[in-house]
Amino acid sequence: MKRKTITIALFGAISFPFASFADTPDMEEIVVTATRMPQALDKSIADTTVLTEQDIKNSGAPDVETLLRSVTGIEIAQTGGLGSQSSIFMRGTNSNQVLVLLDGVRIDSATTGSTALEHIMLDDIERIEIVRGNVSSLYGSEAIGGVIQLFTKQGHGAPSFNASAGVGNEGTRHMSAGFSGAVQDTSFSVNAARIKTDGVSAMNPQIMPNANPNNNGYDNTTLDAQVKHVINVDHALTASVYSTRGNTSFDNAYGLPTDINNMIENMDKYSLMSDDQLNSIWHSQMRIAQGVDDSHTYTNGLPVYRFETRNNQAAWQNNFKITDKQQLSFSVENLNQAVISDTAYTQTRRNVNSLLGGYVGEYGAQQVQLNLRQDRYSDFGIANTGLLGYGFAFAQGWRATASVSNAFMAPTFNDLFYPGYSNPNLLPERSVNREAGLHYSVDGQRVDAVYFDNRIHDLVEYDAMTYIPYNVGLAQIKGQELSYAGDFGSTHLNASATFQNPVDQTTGLQLIRRARYFGNVGMSHDFDALNLGAEVRYSGVRQDVNFNTYPSSTVSLSAYQILNLTARYRIDKHLDALGSIGNVFNRNYSEVYGYNTLGRTLFVGLNYRQ
């Protein structure tokens, strides 16, 4: 009955002449994440979503996670307000089964296997590409559920200055400034941003009696810079630096109600890249980069834990344009991961050497994609992955797609080497994904329907008595995604719904913190200089774990629906006023058992561009 209701609501929204936060996708928009080669979005076989700079502005979202909540197939579970620790579930997979890249660079933690997306604000982000479905054959470990690639801002046009400032409830203050442009053969972009909020109490003391009832605030500072020099028409060099520092106050259910806990986490990216068109068909790209995740935890001002990951990366990718309709790609990569900690890990380094190749081709109405990859790990051995995809444009505006692929998740340093609670004999988690899609796009209207079946085996689970990990788990996550985006003159509409069955086959239980049904409907309208937007977001019942009982027990988190509103008014060509109301009706709901979420939020601000 719930599935029927959501489906009716979705297609009712599709026929309703209003619009969403996100503009209709440009059918000729070029994406790179789905194949690692330039490809038109409407030719992509992988299920891909693009969020443009305009989408980001219209959303009114302060951070990446808030924006991603409205993307098809993505759920977020957060332990409090802005900046609090969170999990991202793409098509029901775990956070460490979703790979996040920043300008092609890994910034994840080797100890947890996941990326702290809660610390990435949107001031520095120009574009986001999301590929659902496992693509380890393109990117290696972690891509069981998909890939999220964030692109930082680049310089364009005449040098110009921009700035923004705003305030909101819960003591929220935000400011940012940037300077970007191009001078002859050199383009540049420099940006800085700061956001601070007093927040809300992360834990509910009625459920977690040892939690400190005070508000848990957040303070974030982000800096990034990029410079690109075009040597000539065939050669260019790009250097970039990105740094975000988040200071998060949090609650501890096992401490004292008077404890003050906070975590300071720094995430940095350094990259140097050379783009070279070596001849009419051969394009070469070489990159050396480092991604850093460095977290320090304090209780009452005293240091408790430190975990730092350094991902040193080198890659050489070669794309060959055989014809206008066919491309080949061959790459070699090296990843060296190092962990620095006050915990005495039994091993603190791993090395990964990778070879990969890919092909995309069009044969009239047909498209083909093939990818193969081999990763050689210094600690557990070899992982081989592949993807085969097929597309067929069978009528005007209509296209069918299908693919089969396999993926893997390398064991984390915590699983392999944490003293007393690890298993050095762990194997990587592995999965096989099958999906089929039906797509329609014509005259500014786009509908996508995708069926997926992802079977994950050798899942890492933990012994209830010893907490030592073993490869014993088996999960199957299958379901359907429906999405729509369309324009009606000055109005726009976006809607999506996901129906999934994320089940742990070992226990027969629904995977925790994942709903079987969730979706959203968004609308916006341009009234000359004024843009008004609204979004309704729904999530069904989810299961979670109550750690207050021994042994722990399963609890249900109630379904919820919230309404968000945004407004943007162009005062003149240089100045915009903006405002947003989140959770308009002040719904009380929980994404993690025992933790609070934000109630009604208000924010107003000004954006200036030279």
Average pLDDT, the chain: 93
Q: Quickly state the pLDDT bin for 12 (edges 50, 70, 90).
A: very low
Whether the predicted pLDDT of 19 surpasses 80: no
The yes-or-no verdict on residue 326 having pLDDT over 80 is yes
pLDDT in the model for residue 86: 94
pLDDT of residue 21: 35
For the segment 415-422, the average pLDDT, to the nearest whole number, is 95
Q: What is the pLDDT of residues 503-560, one digit of tens each?
A: 988 888 899 999 999 999 999 999 999 999 999 999 999 999 988 777 778 999 999 9
Characterize the bridge pairing of strands 553-557 and 560-570.
Answer: unpaired
pLDDT in tens, 135-148: 999 999 999 999 99
Contact call for residues 104 and 286 (beta carbons, < 8 A) = no
Q: Check if the beta carbon of residue 131 is closer than 8 Å to that of residue 71.
A: no
Percent of the chain's residues with pLDDT above 90: 88
User: CA gyration radius for the chain?
Assistant: 23
User: What pLDDT was estimated at residue 466?
Assistant: 85
Between 546 and 340, name the one with better pLDDT: 340
Whether the predicted pLDDT of 467 surpasses 90: no
Give the pLDDT score at 549: 75
> Residue 188's beta-bridge partner residues?
181, 227
Average pLDDT over residues 10-20: 36
pLDDT digits (tens, 9 = 90+) for 354-389: 999 999 999 999 999 999 999 999 998 999 999 999
Is residue 24 very low, low, confident or very high in pLDDT (cuts 50, 70, 90)?
A: very low
Among candidates 438, 379, 383, 425, which has minimal Cα distance to 406?
383
Does the structure show a pLDDT above 50 at 25? no
Quick one: pLDDT at residue 524? 94
What pLDDT, on the 0 to 100 scale, is given for residue 553? 85
pTM above 0.85, yes or no: yes
Name the nearest CA neighbour of 226 among 68, 309, 104. 104
Say yes or no to pLDDT of 60 above 50.
yes
**Alpha-carbon span 356 to 143, nearest angstrom:** 15
List pLDDT tens digits, range 249-299.
999 998 999 999 999 999 999 999 999 999 999 999 999 999 999 999 999
DSSP 525-542: EEETTEEEEEEEEEE--E
Q: Read off the CATH number of the domain in which 194 is found.
A: 2.40.170.20
Q: How much is the average pLDDT of 578-604?
A: 96
Domain of residue 458: give its range: 2-609
Question: CA 327, 331, 336: angle at the middle one, nearest 5?
Answer: 155
Predicted pLDDT of residue 423 = 95
- Looking at residue 22, what is its pLDDT? 37
Q: Residue 5 above 50 pLDDT? A: no
Tens of pLDDT, residue by residue over 138-197, are: 999 999 999 999 999 999 999 999 999 999 999 999 999 999 999 999 999 999 999 999
Per-residue pLDDT band for 11 (boundaries 50, 70, 90) equals very low
CB-based contacts of 232: which residues, under 8 Å, 6+ apart?
A: none
3-state helix, strand, coil in the chain (%, to 5): 5, 60, 35
Specify the number of domains making up the chain.
Answer: 1
Q: How far apart are CA 76 and CA 351, in angstroms?
A: 31
Predicted confidence (pLDDT) at residue 76 exceeds the cutoff of 70: yes
Look at residue 417 in the predicted model and tell me its pLDDT: 96
- Residue 427 has a pLDDT of 94
Q: What is the pLDDT at residue 506?
A: 83
Measured at the CA of 234, the angle between CA 231 and CA 235, to 5 degrees, comes to 40
pLDDT at 199: 94
Per-residue confidence (pLDDT) for residue 580, from 0 to 100: 96
The pLDDT of 50-78, averaged and rounded, is: 94
Query: Strand locations in 345-468, DSSP E?
Result: 349-363, 366-377, 381-395, 398-409, 429-442, 445-462
Is the pLDDT assigned to residue 574 strictly greater than 60? yes
CA distance readout (Å), 313 to 32, 310, 341, 492, 597: 19, 9, 21, 41, 37
Q: How far apart are CA 513 and CA 236, in angstroms?
A: 45
Residue 444: per-residue pLDDT: 83
**393 against 465, higher pLDDT:** 393
pLDDT at residue 333 tops 50: yes
* Interatomic CA distance for residues 564 and 60, integer angstroms: 10
pLDDT at 68 exceeding the cut of 60 = yes
